[in-house]
Amino acid sequence: MMQKIEKALAIVLGTLLALMVLDVTWQILTRFLPMQPSSYTEEVARYLLVWIGVLGGAYAYRKRSHLGIDLLSNALHGAKRRALQIFVVLVCFAFAASAMVYGGTKLMLLTFELEQYSAALNLPIGFVYSVLPLSGLLICLFSVDHLIELVTTKEELPTEFDSDVHPYTDGLEEESTSVQKEKQKQPEAAVEA
Amino acid sequence: MEVAVLVLLVSFLILLALNVPISISIGAATVLTMLCTIDFDPAMITMAQRMASGIDSFALLAIPFFIFSGMLMGSGGIARRIIDFAKVLVGMLPGGLAFVNIISCTLFGSISGSAVAATSAIGGFMIPSMTKAGYDKNFNTAVTVASSTTGLLIPPSNILIVFSLASGGVSIAALFIAGYLPGLLLALGLMIVCGLWAKAKGYPVGEKPTLKEAVEKTLDAVPSLFLIFIVIGGIISGFFTATEASAIAVLYSLLLSCVVYKEVKFTQLPALLTKSVETTAIVMFLIAASSAMSWIMSYQNIPQTISQALITLSDNPLLILLTINLILLAVGAFMDMTPAVLIFTPIFLPVVTELGMSPLQFGIVMILNLCIGLCTPPVGSVLFVGASISKTSITALIRPLMPMYLMMFAVLALVTLVPAISEFLPRALGLIE
Amino acid sequence: GFQEDQVALKLAHTLDQQHSVHRAMVFMGERLRELSGDSMRIDIYSGGQLGSERELIELLQIGSLAMTKVSASPMEGFVPEMKVFNLPYVFRDSEHFWNVLQSPIGKDLLVACERARLRGLGYLDAGSRSFYMNDIGVQTPADLNGQKIRVQNSQTAIKMVNTLGGAATPVSWGELYTALQQGVVNGAENNPPSFYLSKHYEVSKYYTLDEHTYVPDLLLISTEVWGKLEPQQQAWLQQAVDEAVVYQRKLWQESTEESLAAVKAAGVEVIYPDKQPFIDAVKPLHDSYKGTEVGDLLAEIKAIN
Ligand code: NA
Ligand code: NA
C-alpha cells in the first residue's frame, strides 16, 4: 500500500515538473509568435511549483531524503537511538498534523468560504492551498508506517535524516527495489545549490 | 520579544541536534514561536499560508529547471565533452590534469546551477583518470571539491536565486553577472595552488594533443558550450528573463542528450524527472519552512534586534564585517547553503547596508563564505560527494584541502574588501547604477 | 516606552519607508497615540516583510495581522466589484475620482469588504497610471500597436492594454527593471512616483500622461480586530485614519510633482496627449460589462459629477 502511494506520488510529481517546463516554454513562445503574449502561464507555473514543493515535501519525507544533522544520532545505539528515532517521527507527525493538516484545511476552507479567486485564471485559491492538507496527511501516514517499523523491527535502523549525499554517476541507475530502509540518497540531495 | 527569540533559537537548535529534518525543525520552531503571541488557530493557518506563499514565486522556478538540466548534463555526455575540451586547453601544462579538472568544473558550473552536480559529473570521470596518471587520489578529490564551488558564483546559480528571494528582490540578472569575476578569481586562485603543489610533488605533464585531435575535441564541445551563450546571451539580449532561461536550459540539454548525442533514451526521462523533482522538493520544502520562519522573525522584530546588537558591538566597520564573515563560516561548517542563506540574509543584510556595502556585493560575499562551508566537515555536501566518489575518507581529504581553504579565505577577503570585484561587470552592463 | 496595557495594532504594507503612504501611516500612529492618551499604538511593518498585498489581505482574514494598506487591484480577487477601479477611463479626472470615493458609491465599496471579513477604513491617493515606453512617445492608441506592455497580473488590466492595441505581458514587479532594459517588454504603466522611485525612467525615456486608470489604495482592518475594540477606541482609530488620509493626499501631490520634475531632469520626455482617442478606444471594453454588477457601477459612476 505504502509502496503504491509512493509510486503514484513519483508519477504525479514528475508529471507536474514536465508540465511546468511546457508551460514556461509556451510563455516564451507566445511572445515571439504572432499572438497575444500569454497572460496565465506565469500563474500556472507558480501554482505548479507550490504543488511540487509541498507535495514533494511528503515524497522526500517518505524517501528519507530531507536534510538533517546526524552527529548525535550516529553516536547513540540500542534503546537510546530507537527512542531518538521515535521522537523524530513524532515531531514530524505533530508538525504535519497541526500546521499542514489542521492549519492547511482551515486556510483552504477560509479561502473557499470568502470566495478568493486568483488574478489571471480566476481559479479559487482554495484549490492551490488544498495541497497543504493533502501533503500533511501523507506525511502523517508515512510517519505512522515508519513508527510501526521502528517499534516492530528488532535490529538497529540507520539514522533517519543525514546530511550525507550518496554518489551518483549518471543519475540513471534503476530505482533500487530494496526496502526503503536501504537509504537511497538523491544525487543533488544536499545541494540546493 | 526576548522570550520569542529564546523560544525560536532553543527549540530550533534542540530539534536540529536531535536529527529532526532541518525543514521540519525550522517549521516546528516557527510554530512554537508563533504560539508565544498568536492564538492557536490563526497561528496554524498563518503557518500554512506562509509555507505555500513562500514558494509561490516565479523566480524560484529556475531552481527545479536548473536541477533538471544539471541532471541531464551529467548523464547526457555533456560533462565528458567539456573535460575533453579542457584537456586540449591546458592538459600539456605541468600539473595539467589538475588544471583540466578546475577548468572543467568551472565550465560545467557556467552551464549548471549546482556544485554537487559538478562534483559528481566532473569528479566521477576526472578523479579516476588523474589517479591513473600518477596524481595522489586525495589531492584529486580535493581539487574537484574546491573548484566545483565556483559554479555557485558563476551563473546560472540556484543559490543566488535563493539569495535574491531572501534579500527582498536584488535583481537576479545583476547577481548572475556579479558572480563571474569572483568565480573566475576563485578558479584562478585554485590553479595557482595546484601549480605549486604539482611542482612540489613532481606530477607528470600531460600529452600535447595533435592539431587534428585539438580541433575535433573543440568542435565536439561547441554544442555543449553553446549553452552558456544561450542562457547568458538570452538573458542579456532580452529574449527571455533569467527565470525563463532555466526552461531554455532544460530544452537545450534535452535536445543535446536525447537527440544530438543520443546518450539518454526517452524511456529514461521519467526516472530523471522523478529524481529532479525529489531534489527540488527538498529545497522547496526548506524554502517554504524558512519563509515562515523569516516571517515570524520580522513579526517579532528579531532581525532588527540582532543587527542593532551587532552594530553597537564596535564602531569599526571592518571588525563588524570580519565578525559577520566568521559567523557565516561557522554556520557554513554545520549547515547547508539554502537554509543558511534563508535564515541569515534578513539578519545580516540590514547591518552591512548600514555599513555601506551593497546588497549585491553582500550576496556574493555570503555565497563565497558558504562555498567554503560546503567543503568543510562536519556538514559539507560537496565534500561528502567528493569523498564518496573517490572512495576515500573525509579526514584524508583535509590535508590537501588546507592550502585550498587558505586560497578561498584570501579570495573571500578580497571580495569583501573590494566592492568592484562584484560590482564592476553589472555596472558596466548597466544592470546596476 | 510601551505600556503593558497598550492596544497594539500591527499594520503591514509593501512600500518602502520614503513612500508617502508609509509617512502617512507613521503620522496616523502618532495621532492615534495622542487621541487615545497613549493607550493605543500602531506597529508598522514596511517593505513587504510580512508578505505581498494578496497575502496581507489574507492575514487580516486569518486574524494574525490587524491592518494593511493595499491597492484596490489585488482586492479584485476578494471583492469582485473592485474590478471597476482597474477599468480605464472610468473617472474624468482627479476631482471626479475623489467625488465618487466620497459619494455613497465609494462608501458602499468599503462596506462590501465586510463580506470578506475586512473593514475598509478609508481610501488613500495612488494617483493615476500612465504608459511609459522605452523607444516611442505614445500620442495616440495607434502608437501602442504591437508593443509589449507590462501589466499587473489582473484580468482587467490585461483586457485594457489589449483593447488599446498593445500586447499585455504580465511580468512580476521585481523582474520589471531588467525586463524593460533587455526589451522583454517595451514599456509599462504606473503612476509618477512609482515610475520615479523604481528607477524605470533610466530605461524608459517616454512618459505619456494619458491617465488611464485611477486605482486607489485602501486602508483595511480585520473585522475581527475591529470588533474587539471598544466604541471609543474605534472612534479614535477612525479619526486618526481620517486625518492621515488628508495628510497623505497632500504628500502624494508633492511627491507626484517632485517625481515628474525629477524624471524630466533625467531626460524623460513627458507627453500630455489628447485623451479622447484613448477614451473612444476603450468603449468596447466598457460596453462588454453591460448588464453585470461592474457595468451597473460604471453607469452610476459616470452619472456623478
Ligand atoms: Na553556475
Ligand atoms: Na561544512
Per-residue pLDDT tens over the stretch A74-89:
888 888 999 999 999 9
**Residue of chain B minimizing CA distance to C181:** B238
> What's the B107 CA to ligand 1 centre distance in angstroms?
8
Chains touching C (at least 3 CB pairs under 8 A) are A, B
The answer on pLDDT for A171 being more than 60 is: no
Task: Determine whether the interchain pair A37/C167 forms a contact, defined as Cβ–Cβ distance below 8 Å.
Answer: yes
The average pLDDT across A175-193 equals: 32
Chain A CB within 8 Å of residue C113 CB = no
> What's the B334 CA to ligand 2 centre distance in angstroms?
5
The answer on pLDDT for B53 being more than 80 is: yes
Task: Determine whether the interchain pair B124/A94 forms a contact, defined as Cβ–Cβ distance below 8 Å.
Answer: no
Place of cell 517546463: A21
Chain A residues in contact with C184 (beta carbon < 8 A): 31
Higher pLDDT, C89 or B336: C89
The pLDDT of residue B116: 78
**What confidence tier does B280 reach under pLDDT thresholds 50, 70, 90?**
confident
Chain A CB within 8 Å of residue C52 CB = no
**What confidence tier does A113 reach under pLDDT thresholds 50, 70, 90?**
very high
Which residues are within 8 A (CB) of A177 and not within 5 positions of it... i.e. 6 or more apart? none
**What confidence tier does A184 reach under pLDDT thresholds 50, 70, 90?**
very low
The answer on pLDDT for A190 being more than 60 is: no
Nearest CB partner across the interface for C50, out of B169, B238, B295: B295
Nearest CB partner across the interface for C64, out of B38, B172, B430: B38
The pLDDT of residue C190: 95
**A6 domain residue, yes or no:** yes
The pLDDT of residue B1: 59
Span B348-389, pLDDT tens digits: 998 899 889 999 999 999 999 999 998 987 777 788 778 877
What is the ipTM score, two decimals? 0.89
Q: Contact B286/B63 with Cβ under 8 angstroms?
A: no
The pLDDT of residue A167: 30
Separation of alpha carbons C303 and A122, rounded Å: 30
**A130 domain residue, yes or no:** yes
**Residue of chain C minimizing CA distance to B299:** C50
| The three cell numbers locating residue C171 | 511580468
**Residue of chain C minimizing CA distance to A37:** C169
| The three cell numbers locating residue B292 | 515562515
Distance from CA of C113 to the nearest CA of B (A): 20
Nearest CB partner across the interface for A37, out of C76, C148, C154: C148
The answer on pLDDT for A173 being more than 60 is: no
The answer on pLDDT for A168 being more than 70 is: no
The average pLDDT across B280-289 equals: 88
The pLDDT of residue C4: 62
Q: Which of residues 150-169 of A touch C (CB under 8 A)?
A: none
Nearest CB partner across the interface for C179, out of B41, B59, B241: B241
Distance from CA of C68 to the nearest CA of A (A): 17
Domain extent at residue A78: 2-165
The answer on pLDDT for A177 being more than 60 is: no
Nearest CB partner across the interface for B238, out of C48, C177, C183: C183
The answer on pLDDT for B157 being more than 90 is: no
The pLDDT of residue B121: 77
Give me the residue spans of the domains in chain B: 1-54+283-299, 55-264+300-428
Chain A residues in contact with C222 (beta carbon < 8 A): none
Task: Determine whether the interchain pair B242/C48 forms a contact, defined as Cβ–Cβ distance below 8 Å.
Answer: no
Place of cell 547591518: B351
Higher pLDDT, A13 or C175: A13
Span B57-98, pLDDT tens digits: 887 888 888 888 888 887 878 888 888 888 888 888 878 888
Task: Determine whether the interchain pair C184/A42 forms a contact, defined as Cβ–Cβ distance below 8 Å.
Answer: no
Average pLDDT, chain A: 82
> What's the B247 CA to ligand 1 centre distance in angstroms?
15
Q: What number of C-beta contacts closer than 8 Å exist between A and C?
A: 53
Nearest CB partner across the interface for B46, out of C62, C174, C183: C62
Nearest to B340 by CA among B287, B276, B278: B287
**A192 domain residue, yes or no:** no
Give Cα B32 distance to the centre of its chain. Answer: 31
Chain B CB within 8 Å of residue A16 CB = yes
**Residue of chain B minimizing CA distance to A168:** B120
> What's the A162 CA to ligand 2 centre distance in angstroms?
14
Task: Determine whether the interchain pair A169/B272 forms a contact, defined as Cβ–Cβ distance below 8 Å.
Answer: no
Chain C CB within 8 Å of residue A139 CB = no
**Residue of chain B minimizing CA distance to C202:** B433
Task: Determine whether the interchain pair C168/A111 forms a contact, defined as Cβ–Cβ distance below 8 Å.
Answer: no
Task: Determine whether the interchain pair C154/A118 forms a contact, defined as Cβ–Cβ distance below 8 Å.
Answer: no
Average pLDDT, chain B: 87
The model's pTM is 0.85
Which residues of chain C are modeled with pLDDT < 70? 1-4, 174
In chain A, pLDDT over 70 holds for what percent of residues? 83
The pLDDT of residue B233: 78
Chain C CB within 8 Å of residue A28 CB = no
Separation of alpha carbons C261 and C270, rounded Å: 10
Chain C CB within 8 Å of residue B53 CB = yes
Higher pLDDT, C25 or B240: C25
The pLDDT of residue B24: 95
Q: Contact B288/B52 with Cβ under 8 angstroms?
A: yes
Top-ranked range on mean pLDDT: pick from A115-129, B305-319, C149-163: A115-129
Chain A residues in contact with C78 (beta carbon < 8 A): 114-116
**What confidence tier does B238 reach under pLDDT thresholds 50, 70, 90?**
low
The pLDDT of residue C3: 53
Q: Which of residues 80-119 of B touch C (CB under 8 A)?
A: none
